[in-house]
Amino acid sequence: MSPAAKKILIPFIVVDGIFFAALAVWLIHRQHGGSILPTGKADIQIEPRPLEARLTEIDLINKGDAPGSPDFAVNVTWSDVDLVSSEGLNHYTEIDTGRRSVQFQPQPSQQNVTFAARERRAVGWVKLTDDVAVHVEATHEFATTQP
């Protein structure tokens, strides 16, 4: 092959090689569901998790596929038993809202804190006088005073 042909052919081969490598990476990334832009959304859910008899931890779990920030408090209720003790965890404050309820509120410093996708974080726990089901719900109405 003549030197003039090599001078023209080699840059084309290099550019074609780079193009096909980039195409292969893009196809593999696309096949595995990847995306350059974040297309998912956060799905933060509340889950009571019994640790032992009469002791239940309250967790927030981001079941989505993108980071998100919880902008709600967590109401915890139960029936037919009394509260022994409770405590807010991970920058959440526990507010006693009644004989059979507490609320876990994010502290003001938590306003812009995000949960990664599939992250689980405990926000508090309750210990009751007997082993009963604990019910949880999100609320945007924050308790302001303790009864």
* pLDDT of res. 75: 94
Together in a domain, 31 and 54: no
Q: Is 100 a member of any domain?
A: yes
On whether the pTM is more than 0.85, the answer is no
Statement to judge: residues 88 and 134 lie in one domain = yes
Distance CA 144, CA 124 (A): 18
Q: Are residues 61 and 114 in the same domain?
A: yes
* Co-location of 69 and 20 in the same domain: no
- 80 and 126 within one domain: yes
Residue 92 lies in a domain: yes
Same domain, yes or no: 73 and 90: yes
CB 58 within 8 A of CB 46: yes
What's the Rg (C-alpha) of the chain?
27
| Within-domain flag for 144 | no
What integer pLDDT is reported at residue 147 of this predicted model? 47
Which of 79, 76, 84 is CA-nearest to residue 129? 84
Q: How many domains does the chain have?
A: 2
- Those residues of the chain that have pLDDT short of 70 are 32-39, 110-111, 145-147
Say yes or no: 22 and 63 in one domain: no
Q: What is the 3-state secondary structure (H, E, C) of 66-92?
A: CCECCCCEEEEECCCCCEEEEEECCCE
Structural domain including 27 reads 1-37
> Are both 55 and 84 inside the same structural domain?
yes
Per-residue confidence (pLDDT) for residue 38, from 0 to 100: 53
Q: Could you tell me if residue 111 is inside a domain?
A: yes
Q: What integer pLDDT is reported at residue 113 of this predicted model?
A: 78
